[in-house]
Chains A and B, each alone.
Chain A
Amino acid sequence: MRTVNQRGWFFVLPVLILVAFNALMPIMTVVNYSVQETFGNNVFFWQGLDWFEQILRSDRFQAALGRQFLFTAIILAIEVPLGIVIALSMPRKGIWVPVCLVLMALPMLIPWNVVGQMWNIFTLPKVGMLGYFMNDVLGVNYDMTQDPLAAWITVVVMDVWHWTSLVVLLAYAGLVSIPDAYYHAAKIDGASSWSVFRYIQLPKMKTVLTIAILLRFIDSFNIYTEPFTLTGGGPGNSTTLLSIDLVKIALGQFDLGPAAAMSLIYFAITLMVSWLFYTLMTKDDAG
């Protein structure tokens, strides 16, 4: 039987109050909006569960959801292995450690809308350096404002550039915490570098990687600013991810009811995936 000291709750009380104001009260308001219709002026009419039914069955929502899952799957499939590889190849000791760490942290220090603007200017054909280089030097037809595939590649590359460092730093923190004795033992046993990775480094990185994947999943699933400033959801709707569509419905069309229903469905998906992932990754430790 575990003995739990419940006094710890008093120390998290300030955070609970903060969360109540910036998360709990907004979400309660959203629940209230999701079952009502409003035309502004703080006047509401009961609508029941119609918005949920409408959103769940709309092609527009299903398409945006599909794009969202695709985006998250692609960036996780790139950023996690890439981050581990970079972390493995970083030095453990010496003068280059702080240099590498600062270089890695740089992209994460840039505000999200600035990242979007940077990549927009960088990749615009004729104007941007990359756009000019691709079209006029290499002769590749690359125009992220016209071609959906080019827009997708640009958004994915931008996210990889911005956020792989997070995986790198977390994985690196996991790596440096492994005592040298493990490596000595592996060397004596004549273990290959793959088995060192598989049986020493990967298990030791498991906890931080769980956190890294969780953070990257939640952040990329809720991503808004970067693709919005880069492509504005276009060309057409091709990079309109779930949050961009949500803001269009809520603030563009001022359909607060459907937008509230949509954001609750969105929230349920995020919550479920995060819970499933966390539970599966920590299952063996608890048992």
Chain B
Amino acid sequence: MMRHLIWIATLLPGTAFGQAATGWGNVGKQDDKGFSWTDPLWPDFWMAWTPATFALFCGIFGAIAFVAVLEVWKYPDGLERKGILGLTTTLGDRLFITLLGSAYIFLAWLGFVGQPIWIPLFIAIAWGIFVFWKI
């Protein structure tokens, strides 16, 4: 009995140090996860950016800039045509219809089905291809 207690007593400091080394000493500290798409991007700034939303806007503005460049230098008429809906659309119109339609596809899926949103992503891509091809 006594020998057991001595045995445990001699081990205690060791386990305490061991625990301190592996984790308990780090409780309350931020662990450094590295880059994450969903963490705050600039925590001290007011717009609450995350890399994911930043990428979203980069994509939208990039698309607008790309279409603008095409319409100004390559196709001054914006590839204007009358599509299957009877609407006369240019490249910019088609981009707008694609983006607005995609927003509705995602919202409808979230409302009627729910997450995850991989399937509506493919529907939205298909919608975009359809719009640029036919409308």
Q: Which residues of A contact B (CB under 8 A)?
A: 1-4, 6, 25, 28-29, 31-33, 35-36, 38, 42-44, 46, 48-50, 52-53, 56-57, 265, 268, 271-272, 275, 279, 283, 286-287
CB contact list, B94-135 vs A, under 8 A: 96, 100, 103-104, 107, 110-111, 114-115, 117
A283→B87 contact, CB < 8 A: yes
Closest to B76 in A: A4
Chain B residues with a Cβ closer than 8 Å to the other chain, count: 32
Q: Could you name 10 residue pairs across A and B whose Cβ atoms are closer than 8 Å?
A: A28-B53, A29-B46, A32-B47, A32-B49, A32-B53, A42-B48, A46-B50, A50-B115, A52-B107, A275-B96
A283 to B53, CA, bound (A): 35
A32→B111 contact, CB < 8 A: no
A4 to B72, CA, bound (A): 9
Q: Does B20 sit within 8 A of A, measured CB to CB?
A: no
CB contact list, B41-93 vs A, under 8 A: 43-44, 46-50, 52-53, 56-57, 72, 76-77, 80, 82, 86-88
B76→A53 contact, CB < 8 A: no
Q: Does B40 sit within 8 A of A, measured CB to CB?
A: yes
Prevailing SS type, chain B contact patch: loop
Prevailing SS type, chain A contact patch: helix
A residues near B30, Cβ cutoff 8 Å: none
A44→B48 contact, CB < 8 A: yes
B50→A35 contact, CB < 8 A: yes
A49→B53 contact, CB < 8 A: no
Closest to A26 in B: B47
Closest to B53 in A: A32
- B49 shortest CB reach to chain A, Å: 6
B residues near A265, Cβ cutoff 8 Å: 107
B residues near A283, Cβ cutoff 8 Å: 86-88
